[in-house]
Amino acid sequence: MGYTQRRVVSAAAQVGAALCAVAVLLPLVLISGDLLAKGVSALNLDFFTQLPKPVGEVGGGMANAIVGTLVLIGLACAVGLPVGVLAGVYLSEYGHGRLGWLVRFAADVLMGVPSIVIGIYVYTLIVLPLHSFSAYAGGCALGIIMLPIVTRTTEEMLRLVPGSLREAALALGVPTWRTIIWVVLRTARGGIITGIMLAVARVAGETAPLLFTAFGNQFWHHGLSGPISSLPVQLYAYAISPFDDWHRQAWAGALVLMGLIFLTSLSVRLLTRGGFRSTL
């Protein structure tokens, strides 16, 4: 292949890569633009401070749904993150045998299970015995959905850490457990946190499992053992309603939900970027 042909192939590859990058960004830009165009008009102070109005009345807000979403995500993180990170550490550092293969296979299968199936499972496991929908059940369902994502992401990020770092720490007499915590996890923490944020973004918009577990609540929740409102369920209820005002609030709720995910991801990336610099 001559010089001219190589330049043509290189230019074609660059154009193809650029088109693929645009194809990835285009859906996000279109969705964000549509949400901004249709959701901004319904955003006001009442939307963030007031409870939903009764059926047929105009106005109100989604304050209880916003708080409920944050509570459910917090419970999901409490359930899914410790187990997922520790499972990822095991697969990366010790999971070279049959048990590791089995855990890895189970995580891959669980990642493909529809979220509504997980919701039904938690419904039979927690809601039916306790005779009540609850925030605990919703957080548990979302935590199970997060679990395989965090596990596989943590494993892959830890595998990217050079083995020479482990060997250097062990050669200095550092115990294995301290090497994993202070060298391996510290080096890969940026990637691990990115995986955690992907898992949070995934569960933040889940609706089906919450219909069977947290259910929903038109009022403020009192404790975590009762039904709790959430933005995805509230959006679903408003979107299928026949009222134009509820449709506008549904668009605004979708905009707020996407804004929460964006701000959380941006904050974590800014914080971890400083961590990378200090590590390097």
277 vs 275: CA distance, rounded Å: 5
Model pLDDT, residue 278: 47
Long-range contacts of 105-108 (CB under 8 A, 24+ apart): 107/147, 107/148, 107/151, 107/152, 108/148, 108/152
At residue 60, the 3 state secondary structure works out as strand
- The answer to whether the beta carbons of residues 224 and 136 sit under 8 Å apart is yes
Q: In terms of Cα–Cα distance, which of 111, 72, 50, 59 is closest to 257?
A: 72
Model pLDDT, residue 260: 86
Single-letter code of the amino acid located at 247: H
Report the b/e string of 256-268 with b at 16+ CB within 10 A: bbbebbeeebeeb
Model pLDDT, residue 96: 84
**Whole-number mean pLDDT of the chain?**
88
| Residue 16 pLDDT level (bands cut at 50, 70, 90) | very high
- The answer to whether the beta carbons of residues 217 and 133 sit under 8 Å apart is no
CA distances 218 to 15, 21, 45, 257, 278, Å, are: 51, 42, 18, 18, 47
Q: Over the stretch 66-118, which tens digit does the pLDDT of each residue have?
A: 999 999 999 999 999 999 999 999 999 988 888 999 999 999 999 889 999 99
Model pLDDT, residue 148: 93
Q: Over the stretch 206-216, which tens digit does the pLDDT of each residue have?
A: 889 999 999 88
Q: Which residue has the higher pLDDT, 272 or 59?
A: 59
- The answer to whether the beta carbons of residues 161 and 187 sit under 8 Å apart is yes
Single-letter code of the amino acid located at 32: S
Q: Over the stretch 152-195, which tens digit does the pLDDT of each residue have?
A: 999 999 999 998 888 888 888 888 888 998 889 988 888 898 88
Model pLDDT, residue 274: 56
Model pLDDT, residue 245: 87
